[in-house]
């Protein structure tokens, strides 16, 4: 799961997002990353035996750790399947309606908190995390915040600038299983990467990958929160790795900075206000009251991660898969508005962005364009568009006025109305 508020660990932390525990939230880690972004899983029938195999080889854990590192994973852990303590928080979060239109969050009931019911025969869960900050791009909180002040430019969540993480994690988790089978022999298993109703963040925390931050993402003292999460459900009785204590203290930086105040309380996120949810998971019109707050964010939002003090320890990915694609690093809104569907599919091939489709992408870009056109030049610190930039942006928007999707039509009309010289 991508840690990006969405999913977003994302929504990721999604969107890959999965709300869990007393503070339910589900991203990309990243709403990076973490939401139910795909339905692909790799599995082998799990044992139905009431007496699970007990693995005793002393070298198993060392072999597993080395195999994980060889495959590019940043850390692995193990936990059991009893998540009963997380159930009240999950139910309360759903009852509050914080999942918005993500009906799949509720459709599986408490199976989300019961791995052994989701996949009968599961005895242990091996968790992994994978750092995703790209190697080929200069990154810092200052640079990212500067991008948010460039109205003619769109901002894509960092996790989505490279290859679709589902593909990367799924293949590597399957290879990890195969390496493990060389040590213990065939065993029942199933691989998950944001691919089923799994409480990924809860499993990650219980296995010692980190603690739950006030922004609902998993935080690690040595790696911050810019990492993906994945799981391997197995029918082996493995010794659990110890969990870790929380280290957020009195810090409220993520709550204070959230543009839409989606983090309604420490450890509680209302996805209906989250930019990652709104730009990725939400298919309908974006509420008008929230549109100006989204600014030029066109896919996801990383604000609560960049402001987190622990992300000064965030690590670059060791995999070229997550290298940022040039068209997604500093994209110009006018260029993006000129992408037809064929161009969109070409430019997002192999990217997590493709899953939202061209229409939703257009809705997001059109919204950002409207916010750019609405900038008041008299406002202190404002960076209004030049006259020729406004004119070009208006023309690019106007070409989509008759788009077959009524959501896109409405968004384009709203955005055009933000300009004083709207074409008639």
Asked if 358 and 199 count as a contact pair (C-beta separation under 8 A), the reply is: no
Alpha helix stretches (DSSP H) within 348-401? 357-373, 387-398
Lowest model confidence (mean pLDDT) among 22-26, 45-49, 179-183, 239-243: 22-26
* Cα within 13 Å of Cα(234), Cβ side: 29
Q: What are phi and psi of 264, to 5 degrees?
A: -75, -15
| DSSP letter, residue 259 | T
DSSP state of 406: H
| Averaged pLDDT for residues 331-355 | 97
**C-alpha 405: how far from chain center:** 26
Boundaries of every domain in the chain: 1-139+161-320, 332-424
Q: What is the mean pLDDT of the chain?
A: 87
Helix (H, G, I), strand (E, B) or coil at 421: coil
Least confident piece of the model among 58-62, 89-93, 195-199: 58-62
Residue 123: pLDDT over 70: yes
Predicted pLDDT at 379:
74
d(CA 16, CA 166): 10
Task: pLDDT band for 18, please (50, 70, 90 cuts).
Answer: very low
Helix (H, G, I), strand (E, B) or coil at 334: helix
User: What CA–CA distance (Å, rounded) separates 80 from 188?
Assistant: 15
* 194 counts as catalytic: yes
pLDDT over 50 (residue 19):
no
Residues 301, 116: contact at Cβ < 8 Å? no
Which range has the worst mean pLDDT, 13-17, 169-173, 212-216, 312-316?
A: 13-17
pLDDT at 179: 92
* pLDDT number for residue 383: 82
Residue 60: pLDDT band (50, 70, 90) is confident
Alpha-carbon distance 274 to 294, whole Å? 9
- b/e for 326-354, b at 16 or more Cβ within 10 A? ebbbebbbbbbbebeeeebeebbeebbbb
- Catalytic residue, candidates 48, 164, 194, 303: 194
For residues 106 and 99, is the Cβ–Cβ distance under 8 A? Answer: yes
């Amino acid at each position: 799961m991508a840690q990006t508020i969405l999913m977003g660990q994302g929504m990721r932390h999604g969107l890959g997002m999965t709300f869990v525990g007393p503070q339910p939230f589900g991203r990309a880690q990243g709403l990076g990353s973490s939401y139910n972004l795909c339905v692909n899983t790799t599995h082998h029938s799990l044992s139905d035996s009431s007496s699970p195999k007990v693995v005793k080889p002393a070298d198993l854990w060392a072999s597993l750790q080395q195999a994980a590192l060889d495959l590019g994973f940043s850390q692995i852990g193990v936990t059991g399947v009893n998540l009963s303590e997380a159930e009240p928080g999950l139910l309360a979060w759903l009852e509050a309606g914080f999942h918005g239109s993500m009906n799949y969050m509720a459709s599986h009931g408490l199976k989300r908190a019961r791995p052994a019911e989701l996949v009968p025969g599961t005895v242990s869960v091996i968790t992994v995390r994978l750092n995703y900050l790209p190697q080929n791009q200069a990154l810092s909180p200052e640079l990212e915040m500067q991008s948010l002040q460039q109205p003619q430019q769109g901002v894509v969540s960092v996790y989505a600038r490279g290859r679709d993480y589902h593909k990367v994690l799924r293949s590597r988790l399957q290879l990890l299983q195969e390496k493990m089978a060389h040590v213990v022999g065939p065993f029942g298993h199933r691989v998950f990467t944001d691919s089923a109703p799994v409480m990924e963040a809860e499993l990650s925390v219980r296995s010692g990958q980190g603690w739950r931050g006030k922004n609902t993402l998993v935080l690690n003292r040595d790696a911050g929160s810019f990492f993906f999460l994945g799981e391997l459900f197995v029918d082996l009785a493995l010794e659990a790795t110890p969990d870790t204590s929380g280290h957020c203290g009195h810090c409220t930086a993520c709550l204070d900075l959230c543009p839409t105040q989606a983090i309604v309380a420490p450890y509680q996120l209302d996805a209906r206000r989250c930019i990652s949810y709104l730009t990725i998971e939400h298919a309908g019109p974006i509420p008008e009251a929230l549109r100006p707050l989204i600014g030029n964010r066109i896919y996801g939002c990383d604000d609560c991660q960049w402001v987190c003090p622990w992300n000064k320890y965030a690590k670059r990915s060791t995999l070229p898969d997550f290298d940022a694609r040039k068209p997604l690093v500093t994209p110009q809104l006018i260029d993006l508005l000129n992408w037809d569907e064929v161009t969109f599919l070409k430019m997002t091939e192999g990217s997590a962005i493709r899953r939202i489709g061209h229409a939703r992408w257009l809705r997001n870009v059109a919204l950002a364009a409207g916010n750019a056109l609405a900038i008041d030049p008299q406002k202190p610190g404002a960076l209004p568009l030049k006259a020729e930039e406004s004119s070009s942006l208006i023309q690019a928007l106007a070409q989509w006025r008759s788009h077959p999707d009524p959501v896109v039509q409405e968004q384009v009309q709203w955005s055009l109305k933000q300009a004083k010289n709207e074409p008639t």
